[in-house]
C-alpha cells in the first residue's frame, strides 16, 4: 500500500515551485491533497497538473487562501473543516521575499504576515483537525537564509517599521528564523504521539522564488547568474516529501532538516525563550 494512502494533506503554496512538486510527490504516495493557494487560475492549473502527474484523479482539491489576510486564513480553515473531519499533514510551504515594504490589510509587514503569522494562525485554527489526524505532522518550510538573521529577532519592530527595509532580505531571513522557532515551540507544546513539527531548508531551488525582481536590481542581475546553480523544484521538494511520508521520522519533532537529515540550525533558532516569546506575541497579533 502507498505510504500516504487515505491521509489528508494541506500544502500552502501548492500551486508553484517546491510546493507544487511536494504536492505531486505526496499525491503520488496516495494522499488526498488540498492545494491552498491565493490565485484561483494558478490553483486550477496546479490541480490539473498534480492530478495528472501524480495519477491522482479525484484526490486533489483546491481551497483558496491568502496568507496576507487573517480573514482569508479563517475562511480557509472554515472551508477545510466543513469538508474534512481530520488533517494528517500540514505543509506550511508558501512564502517569499519582497523588495518593498507593503502593509497587509491587517496592518503588518507582508513577509512577516505571509511567511510567519499567517501560517501560525492557520496551524492553530487547524489544531483540532490535526489532533484528530494523530499522529499528525506539521512541516514548516524555512530556509538556510535564517542563518543571516544573526542578531535574532527585534520584538520591538517585528513589522520592520523602524529599521531600513533594504531589499527586504533582512525581513525574509528573520521570518525564516521565525519558522524554525515556531517549529520548536509547537513541538515543545505538543505530545509527539499526537503531533510532530519539523522545519526544513529545501536547498537553493530554481522555482518562481524572487523571479519577478522581488530582490530588486541586484536580484534582477544576480538571480539569472546564479540560477543555473540551483536545483530543480522537484529536487527541492524531496525533504518536504520525506518529512510527510517517511516512517523514519515518526515521533521525531522540533528538528530542522536539510537533504533529509536533521541538522543544527543557527544559534538564534535554538533559543527556547525567544521561541516561547514569539509564540505569545504571535498569539496576540492573530487574535482578531
Ligand atoms: N527557492 C529557493 O531557493 C528557496 C530556498 C529556501 C527556502 N525557500 C522557501 O520555499 C518555499 C516555497 O518557495 P518556492 O521556492 O517554491 O517559490 P515559489 O515558486 O515562488 O512559490 C511560493 C508560493 O507561495 C505562495 N504565496 C506567496 N504569497 C502568498 C500569499 N499571500 N498567500 C498564499 N500563498 C502565497 C505563492 O503563490 P503565487 O503563485 O500566487 O505567488 C507560491 O505558491 C518558501 O517558503 C520559500 O521561502 C525557497
Mean pLDDT, residues 114-136 taken together:
98
Assigned domain for 1 exists: no
What pLDDT, on the 0 to 100 scale, is given for residue 224? Answer: 65
- The three grid cell numbers given for residue 198, joined into one nine-digit string: 519539523
What number does the ligand 1 atom closest to the CA of 205 have?
3
C-alpha of residue 209 to centroid of ligand 1, in Å? 6
Average pLDDT of every residue of the chain: 95
User: Is 172 an active-site residue?
Assistant: yes
- Residue 75 CA: distances (Å) to CA of 72, 122, 182, 246, 272: 5, 10, 22, 31, 32
For 165-226, give the DSSP string: -TTSHHHHHHHHHHHHHHHHHHHHHS-TTTEEEEEEE--SB-SSTTTTSTTHHHHHHHHHHH
What pLDDT, on the 0 to 100 scale, is given for residue 219? Answer: 59
C-alpha of residue 1 to centroid of ligand 1, in Å? 31
For 42-78, give the DSSP string: HHHHHHHHHHHHHT-TTSEEEEE--TT-HHHHHHHHH
Assigned domain for 3 exists: no
The whole-angstrom separation of Cα 91 and Cα 269 is: 20
Which run of H or E residues covers position 137? Answer: strand 136-141
Model confidence at 178: pLDDT above 70 = yes
Assigned domain for 41 exists: yes
- Residue from 10, 11, 13 whose mutation best tests the ligand 1 pocket (most atoms within 8 A of CB): 13
Mean pLDDT, residues 117-122 taken together:
98
- Residue from 12, 17, 176 whose mutation best tests the ligand 1 pocket (most atoms within 8 A of CB): 17
pLDDT in tens, 32-62: 999 999 999 999 999 999 999 999 999 999 9
Nearest to 11 by CA among 92, 83, 104: 92
Could you identify the residue written with the cell 521565525? 178
- The three grid cell numbers given for residue 150, joined into one nine-digit string: 544573526
Mean pLDDT, residues 202-211 taken together:
88
| CATH of residue 158 | 3.40.50.720
Total H helices, total E strands in the chain:
11, 8
Mean pLDDT, residues 187-200 taken together:
98
Assigned domain for 2 exists: no
What pLDDT, on the 0 to 100 scale, is given for residue 215? Answer: 56
What number does the ligand 1 atom closest to the CA of 210 have?
20
Say what the pTM is: 0.96
φ, ψ at 67 (rounded to 5°): -70, -10
φ, ψ at 181 (rounded to 5°): -65, -40
Structural domains of the chain, count = 1
Model confidence at 209: pLDDT above 90 = no
- Residue from 35, 96, 106, 177 whose mutation best tests the ligand 1 pocket (most atoms within 8 A of CB): 96
Mean pLDDT, residues 79-92 taken together:
98
C-alpha of residue 45 to centroid of ligand 1, in Å? 16
Range of the domain at 47: 8-286
- Residue 34 CA: distances (Å) to CA of 41, 84, 108: 15, 10, 27
Q: Residues lining ligand 1, CB < 6 A?
A: 13, 15-19, 37-39, 42, 65-68, 93-96, 114, 141, 143, 201-202, 204-205, 207-209
**Residue 148: strand, helix, or coil:** helix
The whole-angstrom separation of Cα 191 and Cα 111 is: 30
Least confident of 15-19, 101-105, 163-167: 163-167
Amino acid at each position: 500500500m502507498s505510504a500516504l494512502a487515505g491521509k489528508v494533506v494541506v500544502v500552502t503554496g501548492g500551486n508553484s515551485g517546491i510546493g507544487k512538486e511536494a504536492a505531486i510527490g505526496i499525491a503520488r504516495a496516495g494522499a488526498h491533497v488540498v492545494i491552498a493557494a491565493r490565485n484561483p487560475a494558478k490553483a486550477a492549473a496546479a490541480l490539473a497538473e498534480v492530478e495528472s502527474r501524480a495519477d491522482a484523479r479525484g484526490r486533489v482539491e483546491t481551497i483558496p487562501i491568502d496568507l496576507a489576510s487573517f480573514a482569508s486564513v479563517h475562511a480557509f480553515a472554515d472551508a477545510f473543516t466543513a469538508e474534512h473531519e481530520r488533517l494528517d499533514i500540514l505543509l506550511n510551504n508558501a512564502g517569499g521575499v519582497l523588495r518593498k515594504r507593503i502593509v497587509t490589510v491587517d496592518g503588518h509587514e507582508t513577509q512577516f504576515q505571509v511567511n510567519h503569522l499567517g501560517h501560525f494562525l492557520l496551524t492553530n485554527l487547524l489544531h483540532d483537525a490535526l489532533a484528530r489526524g494523530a499522529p499528525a505532522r506539521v512541516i514548516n518550510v524555512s530556509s538556510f537564509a535564517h542563518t543571516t538573521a544573526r542578531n535574532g529577532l527585534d520584538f520591538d519592530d517585528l513589522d520592520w517599521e523602524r529599521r531600513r527595509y533594504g531589499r527586504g532580505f533582512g525581513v525574509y531571513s528573520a521570518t525564516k528564523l521565525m519558522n524554525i522557532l515556531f517549529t520548536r515551540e509547537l513541538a515543545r507544546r505538543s505530545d509527539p504521539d499526537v503531533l510532530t513539527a519539523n522545519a526544513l531548508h529545501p536547498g537553493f531551488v530554481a522555482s518562481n522564488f524572487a523571479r519577478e525582481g522581488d530582490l530588486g536590481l541586484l536580484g534582477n542581475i544576480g538571480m539569472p547568474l546564479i540560477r543555473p546553480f540551483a536545483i530543480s523544484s522537484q529536487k527541492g521538494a524531496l525533504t518536504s516529501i520525506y518529512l510527510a511520508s517517511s516512517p523514519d521520522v515518526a515521533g521525531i519533532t522540533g528538528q530542522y532538516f536539510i537533504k533529509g537529515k536533521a541538522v543544527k540550525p543557527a544559534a538564534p533558532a535554538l533559543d527556547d525563550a525567544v521561541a516561547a516569546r514569539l509564540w505569545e506575541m504571535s498569539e496576540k497579533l492573530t487574535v482578531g
